[in-house]
Amino acid sequence: MRRLLIGCAKPSFTGLFLFTMPSDSSIPTSTTHAADFGPAAWFYDTLAGLIFGGALRRSQRATLAAGLPPNPALRVLVLGGGAGWVLSELWRLRPQAQVLYVEVSEAMLARTRARLRRHPMPAGAALELRQGSEASVRPDERFDVIITFFVLDCFTQAALPGALARLHAARHPGAPWLVTDFWPARRGWRRWLLRAMYWFFGFTVGLRAWQMPPWPAELAALGLRSRWEQHFFGRAIAGIILNEAPAEANEIS
Ligand SMILES: C[S@@+](CC[C@H](N)C(=O)[O-])C[C@H]1O[C@@H](n2cnc3c(N)ncnc32)[C@H](O)[C@@H]1O
């Protein structure tokens, strides 16, 4: 793994800003199946804002506010964070959060770095930007919270269980998993909305998934249950906080 140290205050994770990139020989196979939104990086945020009128960000904000554990210097894994807006929100709530930001798209990472120059991270925070997929999370890495915002919808049905298992293994016991995503709709306008989105991103970024994978069922199959849930944009979008099921926990609905 090639590492480019962008800034370093102390020889610890705290205060570090690292950019790491797997060397060619170490790129895990599943990275090649990940959905690189590079071609859409320059317009993704604007388009999402125009179409969903802020609902995507509202859902992420609400889920972060409800789901981040209280410990200040928590270790956070963000998968598929895109152009980096979520980092500002995260640090607004937990200014000392230690973040591993795994994003397959170099163009999205470039935008994240540019954003960080405009909105620098707080003094006690730490960040590693890692180009790769969930497969680049090392087996010994553990996190206090896992964040997958609008990325589970990028997986094919076949690839999703393996990816979720990998992320699940990276959680400290009981660590919350924060999800915001489109609900897998089977009928009505929500289904047509999904169809249009898959068609559009199939065309623009070569997204291999062509329908919403059953992410709620796959998360439930890992023994995770929803302990908080909110819906947005006419229930087309869900924000969910999951962890291991206590007896009275809700099925993901
Ligand atoms: C639909 S965009 C959402 C971006 C961001 N979460 C947001 O809500 O604005 C999905 C992002 O996940 C990245 N991505 C897709 N599959 C990935 C994977 N398996 N591992 C890491 N990143 C992935 C894409 O490059 C893209 O930036």
- Within 13 Å of residue 172, how many CA atoms lie on the same side as its CB? 11
Query: For position 168, what pLDDT does the model report?
Result: 98
Closest residue CA from atom 23 of ligand 1? 80
Cβ 134 under 6 angstroms from ligand 1: yes
Cα–Cα distances in Å, from 91 out to 61, 64, 95, 96, 222? Answer: 12, 10, 4, 7, 29
The answer to whether the CB of 240 falls within 8 A of the CB of 184 is: no
Q: What number of other Cβ atoms are within 10 A of residue 154's Cβ?
A: 26
CA 79 – ligand 1 centroid, Å: 7
Give me the sign of the Cα torsion angle 80, 86, 87, 90: negative
CA 177 – ligand 1 centroid, Å: 16
Distance CA 11, CA 197 (A): 44
Closest residue CA from atom 27 of ligand 1? 82
Cβ 36 under 6 angstroms from ligand 1: yes
The token pair at 165 is 């298992």
Closest residue CA from atom 10 of ligand 1? 151
Query: For position 245, what pLDDT does the model report?
Result: 74
Assigned domain for 18 exists = no
- Closest atom of ligand 1 to CA, residue 133: 20
Query: For position 7, what pLDDT does the model report?
Result: 32
Instruction: Write phi, then psi, for 199 (nearest 5 degrees).
Output: -65, -45
Range of the domain at 120: 38-244
CA 248 – ligand 1 centroid, Å: 33
The token pair at 237 is 């979008």
Q: What is the mean pLDDT of each run of 10 residues along the chain (253 residues)?
A: 34 47 41 81 96 96 98 97 98 98 98 97 97 97 98 97 98 97 94 96 94 97 97 97 76 69
Cβ 131 under 6 angstroms from ligand 1: no
Assigned domain for 32 exists = no
Tokens 């003094």, residue located: 123
Closest residue CA from atom 4 of ligand 1? 82
- Which runs of E-coded beta strand occur in the chain? 2-8, 16-21, 75-79, 98-103, 126-131, 145-149, 177-182, 224-232, 237-244
Helix (H, G, I), strand (E, B) or coil at 78: strand
Three state DSSP letters for 172-229? CCCCCEEEEEECCCCCHHHHHHHHHHHHHHHHHHCCCCCCCCCHHHHHHHCCEEEEEE
Distance CA 179, CA 152 (A): 8
CA 193 – ligand 1 centroid, Å: 19
Distance CA 150, CA 82 (A): 9
CATH code, domain with 181: 3.40.50.150
Assigned domain for 234 exists = yes
Assigned domain for 206 exists = yes
Q: How many structural domains compose the chain?
A: 1
Distance CA 225, CA 217 (A): 10
Assigned domain for 12 exists = no
CA 107 – ligand 1 centroid, Å: 11
The answer to whether the CB of 78 falls within 8 A of the CB of 109 is: no
Assigned domain for 251 exists = no
CA 130 – ligand 1 centroid, Å: 13
Assigned domain for 21 exists = no
Assigned domain for 212 exists = yes
